[in-house]
Amino acid sequence: MINNAQLTVVLPVVDVSRATGFYRDQIGLKDLGVDPTGNHVLLTGTGTQIALMPAEEGAQSAHTVLSFEIENITRHIKELEGRGVTFLDYDLPELKTIGHVAVLGSEKGAWFADTEGNILCLHENPESSATA
């Protein structure tokens, strides 16, 4: 059934080599190389694949394209900053970050962009980890 299917997130990137370096070296994903469709594939520790699809400038989205659900968001922010990742800060009526973190009820979020402009999120949901 489809509800048991393995997911692959496909992200549009202008410079595949630059994006591969970001996801491999700064995020820490395992590099699986190029697949038969020409996408460069990386693997998370939970088995989700991220396929970097060559695309023209402007194919990237201005909203969050993927979210890493993690525990201890502050620790992950510090670790990624140590690897050169720059976090985005927001001061909007509906979204305000303090120390890069927005508190949304019991959940927390922090956003950053990859080298291609795709918006990524760290997402901490204490309720998810309590039921896991």
Residue 87: give its domain's CATH number: 3.10.180.10
**Residue 1: what pLDDT?**
75
**Residue 39: what pLDDT?**
96
**Residue 132: what pLDDT?**
47
Is residue 72 within 8 A of residue 79, CB to CB? The reply is no
Which string of DSSP letters, residue by residue, matches 57-76?
TT-S-SSEEEEEE-S-HHHH
Query: In the chain, how many domains are there?
Result: 1
Answer whether residue 75 shows pLDDT above 50.
yes
**Residue 129: what pLDDT?**
57
Answer whether residue 114 shows pLDDT above 50.
yes
Strand (E) or helix (H) holding 21: helix 16-21
pLDDT digits (tens, 9 = 90+) for 20-45: 999 999 999 999 999 999 999 999 99
**Residue 74: what pLDDT?**
96
8-state DSSP, 47: S
Q: In this predicted structure, which of 18-32, 52-66, 90-104 has the lowest mean pLDDT?
A: 52-66
Domain that holds residue 114: 2-131
Strand (E) or helix (H) holding 82: helix 73-82
The CA-atom distances, in angstroms, between 94 and each of 17, 91, 97, 98, 102 are: 36, 8, 10, 13, 10
Q: Kindly report the average pLDDT of the chain as a whole number.
A: 93
Indicate the pLDDT class of residue 2, thresholds 50, 70 and 90.
confident
Q: Compute the average pLDDT of residues 7-29.
A: 96
How far apart are the two ends of the chain, measured CA to CA in Å?
22
Is residue 108 within 8 A of residue 68, CB to CB? The reply is no
